[in-house]
Chains A and B, each alone.
Chain A
Amino acid sequence: MPFMLNVNRQTFEVDVPEGTPLLWVIRDELKLTGTKFGCGVASCGACTVHVDGEPTRSCVTYVEDVEGAGITTIEGVDSDVSHAVHRAWNELNVVQCGYCQSGQIMSAIGLLSGNRTPTIEEIEDYMWGNACRCAAYQRIRAAVRRASEILEA
């Protein structure tokens, strides 16, 4: 079935069955592979994209439900918040294997876009669903704080 999707400010027509998770449309059809497959059941956050600005697990979001929405993937982020997050992530050498990091960053951008000065508890609450099997959490937490600092400066 054809669907019209707006991804990273571009319109794509994709022909996939109804019920196809947005994750697989993004990865296998659009070849935007920065968005990762980690669990498929909304429990790791590796597949996080923004749908109308809201961090969303694309593995349990179906293609028919996001027609007409503004979808942003890691490849398409470009804002003062995303720049601050990227800078903080680099300064603190957050990444290890890196596989979870697109999702971490998409969540962090979501958090800081709504709340530029989150407390540690707010960071932990918001980022809780983004698993990092390399356990880079200490730096993820610190990098969100650092990005907040950069934004406030």
Chain B
Amino acid sequence: MTRQLTRRSFLKSASALSGTVLVIGLDAGNALASAGDAAEFTPFVRITAGGRVTAVVKHFECGQGTATGLATLIAEELNLALDRVEVEFAPADAATYGNFLFGGTQGTGGSSSMASSFMLYRRAGAAAREMLVGAAAEAWGVPADSVTLADGQLSADGHAAPMGEFVASASAREVPAKPRLKDASAFTVIGNPRTARRDNGPKTDGSAVYAMDLHLENQVVAVMLRSPRFGGTLVSFDDSAASDMPGFVRAAALPTRTAVVVYGENTWAALQARDAIGAEWDFSRADNRGSGQIKADLLAAVNGDAEFDAKGSAAETAELLDGAAQVIERDFFFPYLAHATMEPLTCTIAPTENGVMLHDGCQMPTGAQMAVAAVLQIPHENVEVTTLYAGGTFGRRSTQTADYHVEAALAFALAGGRRPVKLVWSREDDIRGGYYRPAVAHKVRIGLDEDGRIVGWDHRVSGTPIFKGGPMDAFIVQNGVDSSSVEGAHDTPYDIPGHHVGLTDDRSPITVNWWRSVGHSHTAYVMETMMDLAAAAAGRDPVDYRMEYLKGGTADHARMAGVLRLAAEKSGWNGPAAEGRSRGVAVHKSFGTFVAEVVEISGNADDGIVIEKVTCAVDCGVAVNPDVVKAQMEGGIGYGIGHAMRNEITFTDGEVDQFNFPDYEPLRISDIRAIETHVVPSTEPPTGVGEPGTPPSGPALANAIAVAGPRVTHLPISTNGVNFA
């Protein structure tokens, strides 16, 4: 139940199935003040007369721990144990649940959930507390400041009652315009390292419902036979061999000619029928290149003049390099990468009285809602969204074309719009289906003076832009530069003199998307590899050398140096490495969070390298759930290292060479022996943790390998004669 009130008021409601319910929404206007406009209200916390507290979570839960994090904020302000706060995902309603960091659309990404929610949810919890306290004070005839709320109990001298008893009277009260927030020194839930995730139970007993688990009455399963090359279009198909297969319903060409949709009464029937269907494709507008050509094209681009300047001037930097005592240069190549979420993509569209319901592990509810509405030609408010648990995203569940939502909507419409249609992607569809981290090349030339100090740094990048030409082009692209191609390089916190960053776009119909940490997934590797090379050329310790470029006295420098120092200290960097071990370091800022990592390895490139330990230091402002922060660092490090070690999507004549996990081998349990994470205590506003663990992990590993082995600049590492044990 969602009701909307006007700006600068709070939502209250006194009726629900279970009796009186207090619903507190925070004035979104406060949080949105800087974004300019916020006409509507946002209900975030619900309390029943039975004392049941529910946090209505405006983000999806893909494993990053946001559901636990937002429940923590409510629990803190209500002085309640975290396990007493239930979690519910919000419906699609941008006016109510928009993310102000996304210009008000509702969605999750860019590690923004906590940053955009910290004050919002605390104020909602604090308002509820004040109203309950006020109601009790009035009933008991005592001053409000003598009433306390703790563990669901209201009490004052000589009085005590469960808070549920005051839900009805509290909801009749004026909503405090500025509820008093708890002082950070009084926090018991925020920052508590021993809180349990709210989704532990359902995710360990098999009861958590993911979109893949939905079985609606009378549903039909749809799978897609897509063009084997990007940019190919369907000419014709032949389903005669499938016609008498059990459970096969029918096949139809999508009006977009991008795929044949194959319907089955169940998943297996649909998948089997698809295998039996043949199709002919027109590849005249497809990308028909092989990987060798793609790589050569990108490297040629970074060895020429840049199309756009993201920072500085090529000519000025060239002059500085001319005058340098020595110039070190390297080119880099990063392959296309699939996200390979554990749960393959899927969603279900079901008819409702006046439209449809989309059931999805939905990362961008309003985007999906608009896309489905556009395909079905119905008003977007007639597309409801039920958000279910998502089996990972790493960025894949949100694309600017809402690709799989559009597919599902087309399949739903082609099926007649009366049966629920469940779209299922197989793992092969996922690995071969595009929306990859783009392949990217870099070329860097650094000029050093006699003392090894940087005098100029020329950095060129080429790859397919992610935002350019899409719906967010106007927000992201400036002077031709799609910042997602150069972020982490042109805005590095390092004080680099004579810094030029140039960009040349690559155009290909191979679809690309944000992939855990987006541009940072390659720029950090380049920055931190070059920093190591410069330190070596200068004969300096890699940590000390980096510190030289973090001495500007800014908050960024202090925090970046802080994590670097902490990771060095905790990893024993300043002492010698143990016999047979090598260490590499990297530090990077992304999404407002600073992370330094030291990777320690044993073995060698020929016989196999063992990753013994990763020591991580993270500064993400206030760590709302320190254990969730650690888990995200562990996950982000594993994700970065696994792909850096051995993953790539390659092409032969325009067709993806990989099919499934056997040739896109995931990180395995034995690949990293230990990860130790240290969280920097901070009172700064919280920033994200889902992505920032990833960027420094690859270069820290590569820097460790380079101590006694090859310097790898073309990824993945395993294609450079480096074996892993």
**Chain B 211-241 interface mask (CB, 8 Å, partner A; 1/0):** 0110100000000000000000000000000
Interface residues of B in 287-305 (CB under 8 A from A): none
Specify the chain A residue showing the minimal Cβ separation from B614.
A138
B247: A residues at CB distance < 8 A: 17
B203: A residues at CB distance < 8 A: 95, 98, 101
Contact of A101 among B204, B393, B627 (CB under 8 A): B204
> What are 16 sample pairs from A and B whose C-beta atoms fall under 8 A apart?
A33-B213, A34-B205, A41-B662, A94-B200, A96-B63, A128-B669, A133-B392, A134-B392, A134-B635, A135-B637, A135-B638, A135-B639, A135-B642, A136-B631, A137-B667, A138-B634
Query: B660–A43 contact, CB under 8 A?
Result: yes
Q: Quote the shortest CB–CB distance from A85 to chain B (angstroms).
A: 8
Interface residues of A in 92-117 (CB under 8 A from B): 93-102, 105
A35: B residues at CB distance < 8 A: 206
Contact of B205 among A36, A86, A94 (CB under 8 A): A86
Query: A20–B268 contact, CB under 8 A?
Result: yes
Residue A39, interface by CB 8 Å: yes
Specify the chain A residue showing the minimal Cβ separation from B634.
A138
Residue B307, interface by CB 8 Å: no
Residue B26, interface by CB 8 Å: no
Query: B63–A95 contact, CB under 8 A?
Result: yes
Contact of A93 among B196, B341, B660, B669 (CB under 8 A): B196
Residue B454, interface by CB 8 Å: no
Query: B662–A133 contact, CB under 8 A?
Result: no
Residue A118, interface by CB 8 Å: no
Q: How many B residues are at the interface, by size bracket? A: 35 or more
Tally of A-B Cβ pairs under 8 angstroms: 178
Q: How many residues of chain A are within 8 Å of chain B by beta carbon?
A: 56
Specify the chain A residue showing the minimal Cβ separation from B693.
A135
Query: B342–A99 contact, CB under 8 A?
Result: yes
* B residues at A contact (CB < 8 Å): 61-65, 196-197, 199-210, 212-213, 215, 246-247, 266-268, 340-344, 389-394, 426-427, 627-628, 631, 634-639, 642, 660-662, 666-672, 674-675
Contact of B209 among A33, A39, A138 (CB under 8 A): A33
Given the interface pairs A46-B342, A133-B340, the reply to whether A102 lies near B668 with Cβ below 8 Å is: no
Q: Quote the shortest CB–CB distance from B521 to chain A (angstroms).
A: 15
A13: B residues at CB distance < 8 A: none
Given A131-B666, A134-B392, 15 more pairs with CB closer than 8 A:
A17-B246, A24-B266, A37-B212, A38-B342, A74-B206, A86-B205, A90-B200, A93-B196, A99-B341, A99-B343, A135-B636, A135-B639, A136-B631, A137-B667, A138-B672
Specify the chain A residue showing the minimal Cβ separation from B212.
A37
Contact of B427 among A40, A132, A140 (CB under 8 A): A40
Query: B389–A98 contact, CB under 8 A?
Result: yes
Q: Quote the shortest CB–CB distance from B690 to chain A (angstroms).
A: 10
B266: A residues at CB distance < 8 A: 24, 28-29
B662: A residues at CB distance < 8 A: 41, 43
The 8 closest A-B pairs by CB, nearest first: A34-B206, A135-B638, A99-B391, A98-B203, A97-B63, A96-B63, A74-B206, A33-B213
Query: A93–B204 contact, CB under 8 A?
Result: no
Query: B427–A36 contact, CB under 8 A?
Result: no
Query: B634–A75 contact, CB under 8 A?
Result: no
Residue A55, interface by CB 8 Å: no
A138: B residues at CB distance < 8 A: 634, 672, 674-675
